[in-house]
C-alpha cells in the first residue's frame, strides 16, 4: 500500500501541469518552489515528513526516507535537501516556462498575489486501506506566493495526515493554517475511533472548524477519511470538493458540498 501511495504522488509531483505540487508548482514570494510532504503508516504510527524542500523531487520519497532511514519524523529546509542528496537524489530545477510566467505576472501585478493566495493552492493527499491496514500520504507546494519558509498543514502529522489501524486514516487539503489549528486529520481519526463512520467524522471536523475557526469559510478546507472497515467520506468548509475512490475496477469520482456550522 505504501508503495502504491508513494508511486501515485511521485507521478503527480513530476507532472509539470499539476501546478500545486512538485515540478512547475506555484513558487513562494521570491519565486522559489518549496515543497512539503508527509507519510504515516497506521500499523505502528511511524511517520516521516519534509518541509520547505527546494530543488529536489520527489518530496514524498524524501519523506518516506525520513520515516524509514532515520529515527526522526521531520527534516526541514536546506537540511532536508542535503539529506535527500546524501541518499542519492540530485538537485534539479523545478521551474517550468509556465511557472516562471506566473511568477512574472505576480511581480508585475501585485494584486495577483491576492488572487493566487486565495485561489491557487492545492495538495494531493492519498489514503489507503488494505485489509484494515491504513496509510496516509500528502504532497504540496503550499499556498502560492507564500512567505519563504512558510510551512502548511500537509507535512504536519495530525494536521495534513494521520493514520492509525485502530480507527482509520484521514488527510486534509486547503488552507493549511486553519487545518493545522484544528489538528484536522487527527481529529477526524479520533472521531472514527469513537465510533463515527468516516463521513460522520469528516463532517464533525468541518463543523468544528466552521464553529471555532470562522476564517475557514473564506478558503476551502477539506478533510477525507477511510475507516478501518473501509467506509470512507469527505467534507469541506466552502464550495465543493471533488475526490476519487478506488476499490477495484474503475476509479469513482465523488463530490461533497460545504456544510453549515
Which positions touch ligand ASP (CB under 6 A)?
121-123, 140, 142-143, 152-154, 173-176
DSSP classification of residue 209: H
Q: Which is nearer to ligand ASP, 24 or 176 (CB)?
A: 176
Using alpha carbons, list the distances in angstroms from residue 203 to 77, 210, 223: 34, 10, 9
| Residue 70 is a catalytic residue | no
Residue 113 CA to residue 212 CA, distance in Å, equals 27
Hey, what's the cell of 153? 498543514
Return the number of the residue (28 or 135) whose C-beta is nearest ligand ASP.
28
Residue 135: DSSP 8-state: E
**Which of 173, 216 has the CB closer to ligand ASP?**
173
Residue 46: burial class (beta carbons within 10 Å; 0-12, 13-18, 19+): middle
Find the helix or strand (DSSP H, E) in which 233 lies: strand 232-236
By beta-carbon proximity to ligand ASP, the closer residue of 196 and 234 is 234
Question: What Rg value do the Cα atoms of the chain yield, rounded?
Answer: 17
Find the catalytic residue in 123, 125, 140, 205: 123
Distance CA 28, CA 229 (A): 40
Task: Please state at what angle helix 2-14 crosses helix 59-69, rounded to 10 degrees.
Answer: 150
Q: Just list the catalytic residues.
A: 123
Amino acid at each position: 500500500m505504501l508503495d502504491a501511495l508513494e508511486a501515485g504522488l511521485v507521478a503527480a509531483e513530476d507532472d509539470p501541469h499539476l501546478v500545486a505540487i512538485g515540478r512547475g508548482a506555484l513558487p513562494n514570494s521570491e519565486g522559489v518552489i518549496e515543497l512539503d510532504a508527509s507519510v504515516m503508516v497506521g500499523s505502528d504510527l511511524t511517520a516521516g515528513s519534509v518541509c520547505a524542500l527546494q530543488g529536489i523531487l520527489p518530496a514524498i520519497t524524501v519523506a518516506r526516507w525520513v520515516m524509514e532511514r532515520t529515527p526522526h519524523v521531520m527534516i526541514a529546509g536546506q537540511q532536508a535537501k542535503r539529506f535527500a542528496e546524501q541518499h542519492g537524489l540530485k538537485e534539479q530545477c523545478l521551474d517550468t516556462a509556465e511557472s516562471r510566467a506566473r511568477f512574472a505576472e505576480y511581480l508585475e501585478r501585485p494584486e495577483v498575489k491576492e488572487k493566487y493566495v486565495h485561489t491557487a493552492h492545492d495538495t494531493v493527499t492519498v489514503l489507503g486501506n488494505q485489509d484494515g491496514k491504513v496509510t496516509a500520504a500528502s504532497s504540496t507546494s503550499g499556498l502560492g506566493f507564500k512567505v519563504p519558509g512558510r510551512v502548511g498543514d500537509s507535512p504536519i502529522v495530525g494536521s495534513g495526515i494521520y493514520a492509525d489501524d485502530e480507527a482509520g486514516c484521514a488527510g486534509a487539503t486547503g488552507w493549511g493554517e486553519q487545518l493545522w489549528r484544528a489538528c484536522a486529520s487527527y481529529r477526524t481519526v479520533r472521531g472514527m475511533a469513537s465510533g463515527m463512520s468516516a463521513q460522520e467524522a469528516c463532517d464533525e471536523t468541518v463543523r468544528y472548524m466552521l464553529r471555532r475557526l470562522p476564517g475557514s469559510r473564506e478558503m476551502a478546507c477539506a478533510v477525507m477519511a477511510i475507516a478501518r472497515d473501509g467506509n470512507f467520506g469527505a467534507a469541506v468548509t466552502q464550495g465543493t470538493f471533488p475526490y476519487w475512490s478506488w476499490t477495484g475496477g474503475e476509479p469513482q469520482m465523488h463530490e461533497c458540498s460545504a456544510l453549515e456550522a
